[in-house]
Structure 1
Amino acid sequence: MTTDFQQAREALGRRLRELRAGTTQRALAAVLGWPQAKVSKLETGRQTATPDDLKAWAAATGNPQVAEELVTRLQGLEARTRSWRRQLSSGHRPVQDVLMVEYEQSTVLRAWQGAMVVGLLQTPDYARHVFARFAELQQSPRDVEDAVRARMRRQELLYRPGRTFHILLSEAALHAGVAPPDVLAAQLDRLASVIGLDSVRLGIIPLTAPLAIPPGNGFWLYDDRLAIVEEWHAELWLNDGDNVALYGRVWETLDQSAVYGTQARRLIARARAHFSDLA
């Protein structure tokens, strides 16, 4: 969890504690029908409130007029850190639709992914296995087919003029066994085919390449206005200039270790040969 996020959550907790003044935690918990531990966690920033929690708190403390203020604070907090639990409450499809908006608003998109093939270049079968595994992990609704269709529609942007995609993958991502060998082989064929697209610049970082910095989690940069970073518990949506510039420097540094064109094709072919032997 980011320091900025935690500080914002603690600030919201202090505001809740101010509203409780004159009432004990136990008494407020009884009115709300909550465990006292929940009241304590919300006030100390150890748990993130929901909009309904905040509205109930405002009413129970005799301050219904501040409900909108509290929810606005929460929205500001969530605009930066978007938990997977909340994002996936209705499945993967809505998440794909939100990302489509950001893609359409951007002209230069850069990505780094060291663990698997990025969604924009996935085949339907590969995407199907990825969505199914993440739905199981996050215990979210399994709208796999709807999510796959939404992801495939986003790939249409590869063939529309006006956008360029600069994508970096680790060689390890080519070998990640997130699907059966035949699906992985077809996925690698797909990767090889996009190298010739005018809109895509695909770089692969070899396993043996010297690295100026250790590669971290995957992220996307949308022009110079937004960075979306993937964590296990959440996505970080960063739109302040300093953080976007930082991830830009990370991307440029990783790019110095990547190979392109014929060399990238060789790495893809080597991975494909491995999975062809297993299929």
Structure 2
Amino acid sequence: MTAEERFAAFGERLSQLREAAGLSGVRLAKQVGWPASKTSRMQRAQQKITELDVRIWCEAVGAGEETAAELIGELRAIRLDQARWRTQLRGGHQPVQAAVGQSEQRAATIRVVSTGLVPGLLQTPDYARAVFSTLARVKGTRDDADAAVAARMQRQSVLYDSTKRIELLVTEAGLRQAIASPDVMAAQYDRLLGLLGMRSVRFGIVPLDAAYPFPLMHGWTILDDEVRVETLNTTLATNDPEDVQVYNDALDQLWSAAAEGDDARAILTRLVAPR
């Protein structure tokens, strides 16, 4: 089955559990404090369903923990299928960037740690173009770099929103990864130098010789109460409170090893200098 078909079957399973409990959709919604339309949309696979939604539904219909765990496992599998790059990138990178931008606009808190690249919110157009063209080649997808770059640049407007909490952390190793030509890399470092001191953004670099608080296996993004991890072929996401807390705590620990302010400036100055 496709991800869409699996999601429709998931909604039907929720409906069956509700009916077995002798509850109408309206009554279930009232019982848990949801709008009546939410239960209907969930059953018709017309709304994003969170793991917390599943737990609340199962509790309301008297389903046990085993059923809840089974449903959550299926929900995660469906999300993984939906998030595979071969599915997301059928229309190129631009639609994905636009969707990410919408998520960032809605979020009050954006926390990012990047291990291999400059975070997208800080990339120059030329650096971003090199990234998108490389990814299109590696993933075998359509190269719409110009449109994707425009969408990524539009995303960066959130950097100037003083109502948001934005933290962007990158490893020095990631900064040194030569994804583009020396001139493009130098311009990217210069861009980061210019962003130092922005009051609306906390920016830091984990130095090459830093004492890491734990083995840093991959980067991640936290948008409010959701964690996203991008891999070569998919994006993993979770809004399980315990998972989110683990990643927030880990990021707090990484910040303790980060260079900020003048220390970050010194690292960038070394990188931008002729070698």
When normalised by structure 2's length, the TM-score is: 0.73
Q: Is the Cα–Cα contact under 8 Å of residues 169 and 205 in structure 2 kept in the other structure?
A: yes
Give me the whole-angstrom Cα distance separating, in 1, the residues matched to 2:10 and 2:234.
Answer: 25
Q: Which residue of 1 aligns with 2:151?
A: 150
Give the C-alpha shift of residue 66 in structure 1: 6.1
Task: Name whichever of 156-165 and 109-118 sits farther off.
Answer: 156-165
Give me the whole-angstrom Cα distance separating, in 2, the residues matched to 1:230 and 1:52.
Answer: 21
Partner of 1:211, secondary structure, is coil
Q: Which amino acid aligns with 2:226?
A: L
Q: Which residue of 2 aligns with 1:88?
A: 89
Give me the whole-angstrom Cα distance separating, in 2, the residues matched to 1:151 and 1:66.
Answer: 35
| RMSD of equivalent CA atoms | 2.3
Q: Which amino acid aligns with 1:265?
A: R
Task: Name whichever of 81-90 and 209-218 sits farther off.
Answer: 81-90
Give me the whole-angstrom Cα distance separating, in 2, the residues matched to 1:67 and 1:174.
Answer: 42
Give the C-alpha shift of residue 185 in structure 1: 0.2
Q: Which amino acid aligns with 1:130?
A: V
Q: Which residue of 2 aligns with 1:228?
A: 228
Deviations 1:125-183 (A, max 9, x none): 00000000001111111111110000000111111331121111111122110000000
Q: Which amino acid aligns with 2:170?
A: L
Give the C-alpha shift of residue 54 in structure 1: 6.5
Matches within 5 A, 1:63-82: 69=12, 77-79=77-79, 82=83
Which of 41, 46, 50 is matched with 2:2 structurally? 50
Give the C-alpha shift of residue 75 in structure 1: 6.8
Q: Which amino acid aligns with 1:267?
A: I
Q: Which residue of 2 aligns with 1:215?
A: 216
Unaligned runs of 5+ in 1: 1-48, 56-64
Give me the whole-angstrom Cα distance separating, in 1, the residues matched to 2:232 and 2:76.
Answer: 21
Give me the whole-angstrom Cα distance separating, in 2, the residues matched to 1:147 and 1:97.
Answer: 8
Q: Which residue of 2 aligns with 1:194?
A: 195
Q: Which residue of 2 aligns with 1:123?
A: 124
Q: Which amino acid aligns with 1:256?
A: S
Give me the whole-angstrom Cα distance separating, in 2, the residues matched to 1:260 and 1:227.
Answer: 24
Give me the whole-angstrom Cα distance separating, in 1, the residues matched to 2:263 and 2:3.
Answer: 51
Matched, 1:244 2:235: no
After TM superposition, what 4+ stretches of structure 1 lie above 4 angstroms from structure 2?
51-55, 65-68, 70-76
Q: Is the Cα–Cα contact under 8 Å of residues 112 and 169 in structure 1 kept in the other structure?
A: yes
Give the C-alpha shift of residue 77 in structure 1: 3.2
Partner of 2:262, secondary structure, is helix
Matches within 5 A, 1:2-17: none
Give me the whole-angstrom Cα distance separating, in 2, the residues matched to 1:217 and 1:100.
Answer: 22
Q: How many residues align?
A: 217
Give the C-alpha shift of residue 80 in structure 1: 5.1
Q: Which residue of 2 aligns with 1:3?
A: none
Unaligned runs of 5+ in 2: 14-43, 46-70
Matched, 1:107 2:105: no
Give the C-alpha shift of residue 256 in structure 1: 1.2
Q: Is the Cα–Cα contact under 8 Å of residues 220 and 229 in structure 1 kept in the other structure?
A: yes
Deviations 1:191-236 (A, max 9, x none): 111111111111111111111101121111112x111111112111
Give the C-alpha shift of residue 90 in structure 1: 1.1
Give me the whole-angstrom Cα distance separating, in 1, the residues matched to 2:3 and 2:245.
Answer: 32
Question: CA 1:187–1:67 in structure 2 vs 1: closer, same or farther (change >3 Å)?
Answer: closer
Question: CA 1:68–1:187 in structure 2 vs 1: closer, same or farther (change >3 Å)?
Answer: same
Q: Which residue of 2 aligns with 1:37?
A: none
When normalised by structure 1's length, the TM-score is: 0.72
Q: Which amino acid aligns with 1:262?
A: D
Give me the whole-angstrom Cα distance separating, in 2, the residues matched to 1:84 and 1:179.
Answer: 22
Q: Is the Cα–Cα contact under 8 Å of residues 215 and 254 in structure 1 kept in the other structure?
A: no
Partner of 1:237, secondary structure, is strand
Partner of 1:99, secondary structure, is helix
Matches within 5 A, 1:132-171: 132-171=133-172
Q: Which residue of 1 aligns with 2:261?
A: 261
Partner of 2:116, secondary structure, is coil
Q: Which amino acid aligns with 1:193?
A: G
Give the C-alpha shift of residue 79 in structure 1: 2.8
Report percent identity of matched pairs: 35
Q: Which residue of 1 aligns with 2:54?
A: none
Q: Is the Cα–Cα contact under 8 Å of residues 209 and 257 in structure 1 kept in the other structure?
A: yes
